[in-house]
Structure formats: structure tokens, C-alpha cells
Amino acid sequence: MHHSPTSLAIFSATVYGAAEFVAEELTRALSASAYSVAFNPRPTLQNVTNTQADIALFCVSTTGQGQLPRIMARIADELEATAANLETLNYRVIALGDKSYGEVDFCGGGRRLDALLDTLGATRLAAPLLIDTEATNNPEEIAVPEILNWLQALREAAETPAQ
Ligand SMILES: Cc1cc2nc3c(=O)[nH]c(=O)nc-3n(C[C@H](O)[C@H](O)[C@H](O)COP(=O)(O)O)c2cc1C
């Protein structure tokens, strides 16, 4: 990133609401910290490919056996089928899952999306944030401070002149 990030797009995909709730709480906290945030809980392929935000956050849960919620599974399938060029997209995935589903499937949906965006040329700004909702009833209490601190560090890095 060549300038300090100020605008974010948050795309969520949920089955039972937890990932959407985390995305809402992130939207609230980031807006309160003077970021410009566009929250979209019902994203389409075009919303993702056309985003102009400095950073896109994808907040998704996992369903089935390591699968994305339907709305994001469809977007991922379309991105893959069309081999979309995502070179202008800077992103991080926030993945909710449950370790009791096993190592292989844990946060499998979010990890699939993360790998796919990277493959299509998008810039992965950080490893996905994997949240085990078996271990916490309040995943937003993990996601909000982590993302705020991480964005603050990105801004400080962007504002420090290169040596
Ligand atoms: C039917 C079902 C299948 C699930 N499969 C997985 C899975 O394969 N991997 C995983 O990490 N979590 C799995 N989970 C756990 C959910 O991802 C986790 O509970 C998450 O917090 C749900 O978020 P949501 O309310 O946004 O859908 C599954 C949950 C259900 C109910």
C-alpha cells in the first residue's frame, strides 16, 4: 500500500449470524476510529470486483465440511470460473470456525477464500484471522482489537518514510 489506508469495505457471509455480527461490530468500531467503512452483508461478485476501498475485509464463517456460506461460495465459484483479475484488491480474511470440526476443515471456508483471492492476484495484507467460536462466545472481542491494532500498524508503516 502506497498511502495510509483510510477506506474499508467489509463483506460478510454467514449462516447463523455470527460472522455478520462480527462484521457489524467491526464497522462500528472502525467508523468510531475515523475510518470510512462500507459494510455489505449481501455482497455480489460485482461488489467485490468493483470495490474502490483501500482495504477489503472478508468476514466469513464455515459451514458443511470446510465450506463457505452459500452467498460467498457462489462468489468464489464465479471468481474461479472467470479467472477474475483482482490485482487492485488489498484484503484480509476474518474466518469464524469451530475446531471441533477438525484440523482440515477448521475455518476451511475462510481459508479457501483467502487462497483464491491470492491466486487471482489480490494482495493479502495479512494472514487470515482464524477465530475458534468453540472457545469463545464473543468472537467480536477478538476481532475488533486485532483489526484495529493491525490497521494502526499499517498506517504507521505507511507514514514512516522509507529508509
Ligand atoms: C452444520 C455446521 C457445519 C459447520 N462446519 C464447520 C467446518 O467445517 N469448519 C469449521 O471451522 N466450522 C464449522 N462450523 C462452525 C461454524 O463455522 C461456527 O459455529 C461459526 O461461528 C458460525 O458462524 P455464522 O453464525 O456466521 O454462520 C459448522 C457449523 C455448523 C452448524
DSSP 8-state assignment for residue 63: B
pLDDT value at residue 3:
83
45 and 79 Cβ atoms separated by less than 8 Å: yes
- Best residue among 14, 25, 96 to mutate for probing ligand 1's pocket (most ligand atoms within 8 Å of CB) is 96
**Is residue 2 in a domain?**
no
Number of domains in the chain: 1
In the predicted structure, residue 117 carries a pLDDT above the cut 90: yes
What is the tens place of the pLDDT at every residue in 27-37?
999 999 999 99
Contact (Cβ atoms closer than 8 angstroms) between residue 139 and residue 22: yes
**In the chain, pLDDT over 90 holds for what percent of residues?**
93
To the nearest whole percent, how much of the chain has pLDDT over 70? 98
Q: Is the CB of 41 under 6 A from ligand 1?
A: no
Is residue 89 in a domain? yes
0.95 surpassed by pTM: yes
Q: How much is the pLDDT for 163?
A: 64
Q: Domain of residue 39: give its range.
A: 7-159
Angle at 113 between CA 27 and CA 130, to 5 degrees: 60
Angle at 122 between CA 118 and CA 126, to 5 degrees: 70
Instruction: Give domain status of residue 1, yes or no.
Output: no
Choosing from 101, 134, 136, 137 the residue with most ligand 1 atoms within 8 A of its CB, the one to mutate for a pocket test is 101
**Do the bridges between strand 123-124 and strand 55-60 make them parallel or antiparallel, or are there none, so unpaired?**
unpaired
pLDDT digits over 58-78, tens only? 999 999 999 999 999 999 999
Return the biggest CA–CA distance within the chain. 48
Q: pLDDT tens-digit profile of 122-156?
A: 999 999 999 999 999 999 999 999 999 999 999 99
- Has residue 112 been placed in a domain? yes
At 6-30, the pLDDT tens digits run 999 999 999 999 999 999 999 999 9
| 94 found inside a domain | yes
Q: Output the CA–CA distances (angstroms, integers) from residue 69 to 6, 64, 115, 155, in the order listed.
A: 28, 9, 16, 32
Indicate which atom in ligand 1 lies nearest the CA of residue 108: 9
108 lines ligand 1 (CB under 6 A): yes
CATH of the domain at 129: 3.40.50.360
